[in-house]
């Protein structure tokens, strides 16, 4: 394993923002920070209940602006994820497949159509969809920050290790 951070395109980190859960009411607070170089906040107040939450953004952002570790809960590793709505993606595939079935296409034509859809999806994901950093422990989201050396692509085993069983608070 290398200490070098994964490379993500510059377009993914022009504007800084974050979304963190409240420690009291679990409501999410989103805040836009601004372009790179803007002063980083050291706390955020929940919009629902008014509870302040300290953030150690200055302590987790290096001189080049890379974020390494969660400023909200202090967890050491963030994951890099594509910023897409998975439900929307599944809905698009289902609608396209249903339309192809209703059009009376043969099985080989359906396969070709789905391969074309997969290639279009891959191109869109590579060229258009941005990435964000997600904390495994508190699920806080940080957009616009380049990943630090301990940021890694999503790992299901780590996610499940920090995801509480149903019915238990995080």
Residues 45-101: tens digit of each pLDDT: 988 898 999 998 888 888 888 888 999 998 888 998 888 888 888 898 889 889 988
- Residues β-bridged to residue 54: 43
Rounded-to-integer distance, Cα 18 and Cα 103, Å: 44
Q: In the chain, count H helices and then E strands.
A: 4, 8
CA distance 10 to 39: 20
Say if pTM beats, i.e. exceeds, 0.85: no
Q: What is the 3-state secondary structure (H, E, C) of 39-79?
A: CCCCEEECCCCCCEEECCHHHHECCCCCECCCCCCCCCCEE
pLDDT digits (tens, 9 = 90+) for 113-161: 889 988 988 888 878 778 899 999 999 999 988 888 888 888 888 888 8
């Amino acid at each position: 394993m290398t200490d070098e951070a994964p490379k993500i395109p510059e377009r993914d980190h022009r504007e800084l923002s974050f979304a963190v859960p409240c420690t009291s009411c679990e409501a999410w607070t989103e805040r836009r920070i601004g372009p790179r170089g803007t002063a980083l906040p050291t706390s955020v107040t929940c919009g629902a209940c008014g509870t302040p939450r300290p953030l150690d953004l200055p302590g987790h952002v290096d001189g080049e602006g890379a974020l390494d570790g969660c400023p909200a809960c202090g967890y050491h590793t963030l994951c890099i994820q594509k910023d897409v709505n998975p439900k929307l993606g599944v809905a698009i595939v289902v609608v396209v497949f249903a339309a192809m079935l209703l059009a009376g296409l043969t099985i080989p034509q359906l396969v070709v159509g789905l391969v074309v859809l997969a290639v279009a999806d891959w191109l869109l994901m590579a060229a258009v969809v941005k990435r964000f950093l997600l904390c495994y422990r508190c699920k806080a989201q940080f957009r616009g920050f380049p990943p630090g050396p301990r940021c890694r692509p999503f790992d299901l085993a780590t996610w499940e290790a920090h995801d509480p069983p149903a019915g238990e608070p995080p």
